[in-house]
Chain A
Amino acid sequence: MTDLHAHTPISDHLEKVTGRAEFISDVVVPGMLHGKILRSTVPHGIIKKIDTSAALAMPGVVAVLTGADVAQLNNHWGPSLKDRPLIAIDRVRYVGEPVAMVAAEDERTAEEALELIDVEYELLPYVTGAEEALAEGAPVIHAKPEALKDFYFKGEAKPVPGTNIFQKYAYEHGDVEKAFAGADRCFEGRFEFPMVFHYAMEPHCVIASFHNEGLTLWSCGQSPTAVQKVLSRVFEMPLARIRIISPYVGGGFGGKASVKIDPLVAALAWKVRRPVRVCLSISETMLTARRLSATVDVKTGVRNDGTIVAKSVRILMNGGAYADTGPAIAVKAANRAIGPYRIPNLKLESVAVYTNTVPGAAFRSIGGPQAVWASESQMDEIASALDIDPVELRSRNILRCGEHVRPDLRPIDVEMAEAMDIALKEMTKLQSLDADAKTFGGTALGISDPGIMPVASVLMRLKIDGSVAVVSNSVEIGQGVREVLRKLASEQLNQPMHAIEVLTPDTAIAPFDWGTAASRSSLMMGLAIEDAAKDIRKQIADIAAIVFSAEPSAVRLCEGGVMIGNEKKTFNELLHSYYGIDSGEIVALGRVSPHSNGGRLAQAPLFWETAAGRCGIIADVETGEVKVKHYVSVADVGRALNRAGAEGQDEGASIMGLGHTLSEELIYEDGQPINATMIDYHVPTIDEVPENFVTVLIESGTGPGPGGMRGMGEGAILPVAPAIANALATGYGIRIRELPITPERVWRALRDKRKV
């Protein structure tokens, strides 16, 4: 077989390295104005008065939008709870909440005008911590948020009216209390995970334009169809009149998932009746979305030989001022706390609460890092107390492929023991390179049930010249989806890579897809492309039967055309003969639903996304500084469609995990975020990347997609923090239960240990 991929550059690389790739900030729409946002300076308050007259009087200012303008619209929205106003109406609920918005002829004027807007607040009591938000007498941030059923995710949130709780989730199998009572030992611990920021390199950026045909948005959203749906509700417009175009997006990581600033920008364009462009700064993006912080209480009962008999997990998540996808995140956090172990008695509880902080949102493996941080740290605590090697303890409890994590979920579909073993062996090799300063190893495993809705579709158009347009709503957010789509289409249609064009997503022409998130696009689009290719093959065989009297079963696709038996016909010959003119195309829609593939996609999760991580660290016991010298990340991805890209995703997820492990934390004091700038909030740089980093992608071919692929890109973030904390415990005898593991926390733990 010839290599269809040879000598064809990766789809977007050439454009990006030459600066030609078009991001939203490069898009210019005729007549476009520039919008800037005035944000709340108080954590919680009633808006007494907004005076916009001075701003409006400024030359170049076209309009100012405030809450008063949106009264006639369906002005609240949300992907799960309808709790968020388009723009603050009567009150503000966090520092950074949009209060007013200026549209001006240029960005500078818009920004100058913001300073002329005078807002008076009546301060309300506020709460920034999740525990405080649950306390008796805490200010209630939303009295009675309306839950939307099956709006974005399947199901609905369960808020508790009159409290700050916007989601409550519970699950149980077996009898946990009885099992604890019968266990040889029980271990309990509380683990803290901070609010962290996505830091996509491109801040949020949207252009909205109302015109005769409806509303067009150039959106940085990861879920164009969700944006379309929310806008349709807000402006009471038919979906068909709303068009979302998704140019290249400079990273998402969940910070642009579901819906973010699109309704706000559209509201300004609606008021001013001209196209409006809004590009946030990084600091503004830090006030737009962040990962939910969490307090995780874990209790595990074991026998003396390390066998787990019961586990209970209680997770409290700080969801910020608006729920966003927090309700789903709380559920996922609970599931992802289970781990790849046999647990006969299991109890999960999670609660997510409103606070007066930046809204929590989806973030690479929603709820996963918070949960795995706690569970995998405790596994090593158990191992240490029972004097069992941590890897051995895991082995004794580990699920084999096909066993149930939870009886109601799809059985685990990978061998975690194999991944753990590879991680250990690879790390031993790396540690043999250690010179004087020996590194200490730590292991952690993560498994997650991707929240994938099996709802996707793709349009493939095979042109008479053999070129193929792939039209979908999968957004290229830097993860390489366009290249993956190209490869999938190339394989399925047996056409060379250079014949495949993957188009910029545009809801006007691309069929429905749920969104670009949850490690789903390669897999979902893979299945949809498989379906569309099947249709193309059928149409071609039918045409060949008509024009060349071919036996349909004897028709095979080959490069540039078809083989009918041993005879080659080009697409041109085929379609020219069929249509009678030298023009034409074949169009096919590929579709995935819970009913596809004989219903095999319906059970959740569609596959298990997993990771085994092992680190080699050195700590400076005097300063407390932790250096990760080596890191090994292993995952069974089924099949790596684009190996370099997949390894990049794995490395990226791990290094992102290094951020919440060692330095990242959004800090609140007196209701204010005090380090929401890139100077005071430290994201890992190349200096912190481990000297030796090994990614092992196991290609077992056992996933549900074409060639046995499964999704990937998120799992590797899971084990990083607990692996490093475990290495600190093994090497230095300290157990850190609060992230990030700053040098000061390490120093304090070492000092406290010496005191004992």
Chain B
Amino acid sequence: MFITPFTHHRPAGLHSVFDILAKYGDDAAVYAGGTELLLALKARVLRYEHLIDLKRVKELGGVRVENDFIGIGALATHYRIANDPVVLASIPEYASLSDGIANIRVRVAGTLAGNLSFAEPHSDPPALLAAMGATVQLVSADSERSVPVSEFIAGEFTTMREDNELISEVRVPVTQPNEAFRFRSFGHLERPAVNVAVGCKNDDGKTAFRIWLGAIGDHPIHAEKVETALRGVPRASLRDVLPAATEEFTSGLSATSDLHGSADYKRHLASVLMQRAVNEAAESASSKES
């Protein structure tokens, strides 16, 4: 279907964006790549009188390096992220995730900020970003705040972003020499059914894991119990602890049966993917150390 008629705005600066948003309120929406929004508009699930194209807003562009984090501007596409030398060197697992998102047409147009804003549960980025400790920078006309990705997604298609706010940047901590991340995603349709992100950090021979699950629920889920069970377990002994820990955790997960799979299958997938990602992250972290 066609998108219902709208007025198109192409502001060049962030202030103009906020002016337009203030003027039209709920009747306006911002977009960059449009890969999520346009589908919803064409399906007429959403309607806006005013669409604000952010692509000319200079403040939102680019990927920058701070001391300990990579700042991914709201206009950075998945393709850019996947191929940026700085991203590849600093947060390689996230670059690799970006390279596997959807298909090339989506990757060259779609942005990370757009993906997070849309908050489609069957999506890859949130779980890994949560595991990496990434934050979302939200700006409004007169303020700026930071929200961890782990808290940013409130539920299906809903986030902590206020109507008068925009994501300006996603800040991802640089992966340290003693840590490694692994991301595993699985699904037989276009979008993932379940995904798992694992971070493994080696401190003087002691390992600590960060484990997040995505797509199975409506927001990223922190597998703290598994992290606790694995804390300090030597790599050689992981296999003794890991299956029971992941199965116990996933068996208690709430999941829904849908096109992507039945609830029990998704729980099983979560457990399998978690075990694989934990083993790989542990191996990678230990090889980095040596």
Asked if A625 and B268 sit within 8 Å, CB to CB, the answer is no
Asked if B1 and A622 sit within 8 Å, CB to CB, the answer is no
Residues from chain B with a CB closer than 8 A to the CB of A744 are 261-262, 265
The one of A674, A677, A682 in contact with B188, judged by C-beta atoms closer than 8 angstroms, is: A682
Asked if B189 and A623 sit within 8 Å, CB to CB, the answer is no
| Binary per-residue interface labels of chain A (267-282) against chain B in the complex, 1 for a CB within 8 Å, 0 otherwise | 0000000000000010
Closest 7 interchain pairs by CB?
A: A622-B272, A744-B265, A682-B189, A108-B2, A744-B261, A111-B2, A679-B190
Determine whether A12 belongs to the interface, using a CB cutoff of 8 Å to chain B.
no
Cα distance A198–B273 in the bound complex, in angstroms:
34
Asked if B103 and A685 sit within 8 Å, CB to CB, the answer is yes
Q: A357 → chain B, closest Cβ, in Å?
A: 17
| Binary per-residue interface labels of chain B (19-55) against chain A in the complex, 1 for a CB within 8 Å, 0 otherwise | 0000000000000000000010001000000000000
Which of B51-99 touch A at CB < 8 Å? none
The one of A107, A112, A680 in contact with B189, judged by C-beta atoms closer than 8 angstroms, is: A680
Asked if B2 and A682 sit within 8 Å, CB to CB, the answer is no
Cα distance A612–B259 in the bound complex, in angstroms:
33
Q: B106 → chain A, closest Cβ, in Å?
A: 11
Cα distance A681–B189 in the bound complex, in angstroms:
7
Q: B195 → chain A, closest Cβ, in Å?
A: 12
Query: Which B residue's beta carbon lies closest to that of A688?
Result: B188
Counting chain A CB atoms within 10 Å of each CB, the highest count among B5, B43, B188, B269 belongs to B188
| Binary per-residue interface labels of chain A (221-252) against chain B in the complex, 1 for a CB within 8 Å, 0 otherwise | 00000000000000000000000000000000
Query: Which B residue's beta carbon lies closest to that of A108?
Result: B2
Cα distance A681–B188 in the bound complex, in angstroms:
10
Q: A285 → chain B, closest Cβ, in Å?
A: 14
Query: Which A residue's beta carbon lies closest to that of B43?
Result: A677
Determine whether A663 belongs to the interface, using a CB cutoff of 8 Å to chain B.
yes
Query: Which B residue's beta carbon lies closest to that of A622?
Result: B272
The one of A112, A663, A679 in contact with B191, judged by C-beta atoms closer than 8 angstroms, is: A679
Determine whether B4 belongs to the interface, using a CB cutoff of 8 Å to chain A.
yes
Residues from chain B with a CB closer than 8 A to the CB of A742 are 188, 261
Asked if B259 and A747 sit within 8 Å, CB to CB, the answer is no
Query: Which A residue's beta carbon lies closest to that of B194?
Result: A623
Determine whether A344 belongs to the interface, using a CB cutoff of 8 Å to chain B.
no
Cα distance A744–B190 in the bound complex, in angstroms:
16
Cα distance A387–B167 in the bound complex, in angstroms:
64
Which of A635-686 touch B at CB < 8 Å? 662-663, 667, 674-675, 677-682, 685
Residues from chain B with a CB closer than 8 A to the CB of A677 are 43
Determine whether A743 belongs to the interface, using a CB cutoff of 8 Å to chain B.
yes
| Binary per-residue interface labels of chain A (717-756) against chain B in the complex, 1 for a CB within 8 Å, 0 otherwise | 0000000000000000000000000111001100000000
17 A-B residue pairs with Cβ-Cβ distance under 8 Å, sorted by A, are A111-B1, A111-B2, A112-B5, A623-B269, A623-B272, A623-B273, A625-B186, A663-B188, A679-B39, A679-B189, A679-B190, A680-B259, A681-B189, A685-B103, A742-B188, A743-B186, A744-B265
Query: Which B residue's beta carbon lies closest to that of A687?
Result: B103
Residues from chain B with a CB closer than 8 A to the CB of A748 are 265
Cα distance A748–B1 in the bound complex, in angstroms:
39
Which of B224-278 touch A at CB < 8 Å? 259, 261-262, 265, 268-269, 272-273
Asked if B5 and A108 sit within 8 Å, CB to CB, the answer is yes
Q: B96 → chain A, closest Cβ, in Å?
A: 16
Q: A679-B189, A682-B188 are in contact. List 20 more A-B contacts (CB 8 A).
A: A108-B2, A111-B1, A111-B2, A112-B5, A623-B273, A625-B186, A625-B188, A663-B188, A663-B189, A674-B259, A679-B191, A680-B189, A680-B190, A680-B259, A682-B190, A742-B188, A742-B261, A743-B188, A747-B268, A748-B265
Query: Which A residue's beta carbon lies closest to that of B3?
Result: A108
Q: B51 → chain A, closest Cβ, in Å?
A: 16
Residues from chain B with a CB closer than 8 A to the CB of A662 are 188
Counting chain B CB atoms within 10 Å of each CB, the highest count among A107, A623, A675 belongs to A623
Residues from chain A with a CB closer than 8 A to the CB of B5 are 108, 112
Residues from chain A with a CB closer than 8 A to the CB of B262 are 744
Residues from chain B with a CB closer than 8 A to the CB of A108 are 2, 5
Q: State how many residues of chain B have any CB contact under 8 Å with chain A.
A: 20
Residues from chain B with a CB closer than 8 A to the CB of A667 are 259
| Binary per-residue interface labels of chain B (173-199) against chain A in the complex, 1 for a CB within 8 Å, 0 otherwise | 000000000000010111100000000
State the B residues within 8 Å of A (CB).
1-2, 4-5, 39, 43, 103, 186, 188-191, 259, 261-262, 265, 268-269, 272-273
Cα distance A663–B186 in the bound complex, in angstroms:
14
Cα distance A742–B273 in the bound complex, in angstroms:
17
Asked if B186 and A623 sit within 8 Å, CB to CB, the answer is yes
Cα distance A623–B188 in the bound complex, in angstroms:
11
Cα distance A281–B42 in the bound complex, in angstroms:
11
Q: B201 → chain A, closest Cβ, in Å?
A: 26
Asked if A107 and B2 sit within 8 Å, CB to CB, the answer is yes
Cα distance A112–B191 in the bound complex, in angstroms:
30
Q: State how many residues of chain A have any CB contact under 8 Å with chain B.
A: 25
Cα distance A663–B187 in the bound complex, in angstroms:
11
Q: A440 → chain B, closest Cβ, in Å?
A: 20
Asked if B4 and A112 sit within 8 Å, CB to CB, the answer is yes
Given contacts A680-B259, A744-B261, A744-B265, contact A281 B186 (CB under 8 A): no
Q: B289 → chain A, closest Cβ, in Å?
A: 27
Residues from chain A with a CB closer than 8 A to the CB of B189 are 663, 679-682
Residues from chain A with a CB closer than 8 A to the CB of B265 are 744, 747-748
Which of A684-707 touch B at CB < 8 Å? 685
Q: A55 → chain B, closest Cβ, in Å?
A: 15
Residues from chain A with a CB closer than 8 A to the CB of B269 are 623
Residues from chain B with a CB closer than 8 A to the CB of A663 are 188-189
Cα distance A569–B129 in the bound complex, in angstroms:
79
Cα distance A622–B259 in the bound complex, in angstroms:
19
Counting chain B CB atoms within 10 Å of each CB, the highest count among A667, A742, A744 belongs to A744
Cα distance A674–B186 in the bound complex, in angstroms:
21
Residues from chain B with a CB closer than 8 A to the CB of A747 are 265, 268
Q: B277 → chain A, closest Cβ, in Å?
A: 13
Cα distance A383–B186 in the bound complex, in angstroms:
34
Cα distance A224–B102 in the bound complex, in angstroms:
39
Q: A247 → chain B, closest Cβ, in Å?
A: 24
Cα distance A685–B103 in the bound complex, in angstroms:
10
Cα distance A247–B243 in the bound complex, in angstroms:
60
Which of A105-132 touch B at CB < 8 Å? 107-108, 111-112
Query: Which A residue's beta carbon lies closest to that of B273?
Result: A623
Residues from chain B with a CB closer than 8 A to the CB of A112 are 2, 4-5
Cα distance A679–B272 in the bound complex, in angstroms:
26
Query: Which A residue's beta carbon lies closest to that of B186?
Result: A623
Cα distance A170–B212 in the bound complex, in angstroms:
58
Cα distance A281–B2 in the bound complex, in angstroms:
10
Residues from chain A with a CB closer than 8 A to the CB of B273 are 623
Residues from chain B with a CB closer than 8 A to the CB of A685 are 103
Cα distance A675–B191 in the bound complex, in angstroms:
13
Cα distance A680–B103 in the bound complex, in angstroms:
15
Query: Which B residue's beta carbon lies closest to that of A662?
Result: B188
Q: B71 → chain A, closest Cβ, in Å?
A: 31
Residues from chain A with a CB closer than 8 A to the CB of B190 are 678-680, 682
Query: Which A residue's beta carbon lies closest to that of B189?
Result: A682
Query: Which B residue's beta carbon lies closest to that of A115?
Result: B44
Which of A396-418 touch B at CB < 8 Å? none
Cα distance A201–B261 in the bound complex, in angstroms:
28
Residues from chain A with a CB closer than 8 A to the CB of B272 are 622-623
Q: A204 → chain B, closest Cβ, in Å?
A: 16
Q: A110 → chain B, closest Cβ, in Å?
A: 9
Query: Which B residue's beta carbon lies closest to that of A624?
Result: B265
Cα distance A111–B259 in the bound complex, in angstroms:
29
Residues from chain B with a CB closer than 8 A to the CB of A675 are 259
Q: B95 → chain A, closest Cβ, in Å?
A: 19
Q: A47 → chain B, closest Cβ, in Å?
A: 23
Residues from chain A with a CB closer than 8 A to the CB of B43 are 677
Query: Which A residue's beta carbon lies closest to that of B187?
Result: A743
Cα distance A690–B79 in the bound complex, in angstroms:
26
Cα distance A92–B268 in the bound complex, in angstroms:
42
Cα distance A674–B259 in the bound complex, in angstroms:
9
Cα distance A442–B261 in the bound complex, in angstroms:
27
Cα distance A744–B272 in the bound complex, in angstroms:
13
